[in-house]
Amino acid sequence: MKALVTGCAGFIGSHLTESLLADGHEVLGVDCFNDNYERRVKAANLAVAHEWESFELVPLDLARGALEELVDGCDVIFHLAAEPGVRSSWGTRFEQYLRNNVLATQQLLEAVKPTPSTRVVYASTSSVYGHAETLPTREDALPRPFSPYGVTKLAAEELCQLYWGNHGVETVALRYFSVYGPRQRPDMAFNRFCRAALRREPLTVFGDGDQTRDFTHVTDIVRATRAAGETPRVAGGIYNIGGGSAVSVNEALMLLEGFVGRQLDVSYGDCVHGDVRHTGADTTLAATNLGYAPRQSFSMGLLSEFEWMCDQEALGGRRALRVVG
């Protein structure tokens, strides 16, 4: 199989790329290396992928269009490229969310339109639900985004449905719930918390910490994403992908205190505009149609991210020593 992975240098995209390569597939990776965090971090995410001869990286801005040559010959497209994050989607940066989430998706779908049997797996988000009226939330719940980010992701999801309904493009949308694990983006909570815990620095929680999330480990996300790309007769579907448990931020902090063996210096601030109180995924449909069931427990999943951060901090220390030397 030849797979196109957009956003291949990102948190989830790099894990997906490695999984496909390890199973003998050819991967064409695309990333525009946007400025939401340091390019060197994204480049490091691809270190393992570059060891495979079956991997090719194309630095490309999808929103510029003319993507027919890019998608030609691909059996499946995993569209993970996006402008991420709830907090930064307000104000002047919103134009980037429109460009990288909506326009880029439309351009990709246009390129696939002449070959509609090419499966397109779109990485959507639980942010499309906003303050869900029922928990766990099913896919037929009314989407009510509570952030500009959620609005743009829902718009791109609707584009996938339009191209499926009008042109037969085999799209599948996955609504990811709070993904965590090694390589998590630097702005995300567990990355910040693990780093602060190791450095003995104070950390700030937005809100009272009792908000809960259906945290989903990146390895479960990769399995679900691959299933969406490879399972027959699921085109046009929308699926929740969750981790199977409701965990509060304070509970996660207690686990981190156990990992480091001491109390953390935690302060609490105002809630962030766009954040919701609770999320929870009803994954019945994904279990039925994709064979999906989360495997990673939250405690062991958080430990995997903490141990990865330990390695990153050790590597950073060695770099500093080389610079000083």
pLDDT per position as a tens digit, 258-304: 999 999 999 999 999 999 999 999 999 999 999 999 999 999 999 99
Domain 2-178+217-243+280-295, classified CATH 3.40.630.10, yes or no: no
> How far apart are the C-alpha atoms of 177 and 239, rounded to whole Å?
11
Is residue 325's pLDDT more than 50? no
Domain ranges for the chain, please list them: 2-178+217-243+280-295
Q: Which tokens is 262 given?
A: 């001491």
pLDDT above 70: residue 322:
no
Q: Which two tokens stand for residue 40?
A: 């060197």
Cα dihedral value 168, 172, 173, 177, nearest 10? 180
Residues 6+ apart with CB under 8 A from 45: 9, 10, 11, 13, 14, 183
149 among known catalytic residues? yes
Looking at 97, 129, 149, 180, which residue is catalytic? 149
Instruction: Provide mean pLDDT across the span 102-113.
Output: 98
Cα of 192 vs its chain's centroid, Å: 17
Phi, psi (rounded to 5 degrees) for 256: -65, -35
CA distance 299 to 321: 33
**Cα–Cα distances in Å, from 238 out to 78, 120, 121, 264, 310?**
14, 12, 10, 40, 37
35 pLDDT tier (thresholds 50, 70, 90): confident
**Residue 317: predicted pLDDT:** 58
315: pLDDT strictly greater than 90: no
CA–CA gap between residue 147 and residue 273 (Å, rounded): 8
For residue 214, the model assigns a pLDDT of 98
Percent of residues, the chain, with pLDDT higher than 90: 94
Please state, as a whole number, how many other Cβ atoms lie within 10 Å of the Cβ of residue 53.
Answer: 8
For residues 178 and 258, what is the distance between their CA atoms, to the nearest angstrom?
Answer: 22
User: Please, which contacts does 34-38 make with residues 24 or more away whose CB atoms are closer than 8 Å?
Assistant: 34/83, 34/96, 34/100, 36/83, 36/84, 36/85, 36/88, 36/185, 36/187, 37/185, 37/186, 37/187, 38/186
158 pLDDT band, cuts 50/70/90, is very high
How do residues 57-99 score in pLDDT, each as one tens digit?
999 999 999 999 999 999 999 999 999 999 999 999 999 999 9
Residue 244 has pLDDT above 50, yes or no: yes
Kindly report the average pLDDT of the chain as a whole number. Answer: 95
Tell me the Ramachandran region of residue 142: left when phi exceeds 0, alpha when psi lies from -120 to 50, beta otherwise. beta
- Write the CA distances from 43 to 29, 31, 49, 194, 217, integer angstroms: 12, 10, 10, 21, 22
At 36 the pLDDT is 86
Its pTM stands at 0.96
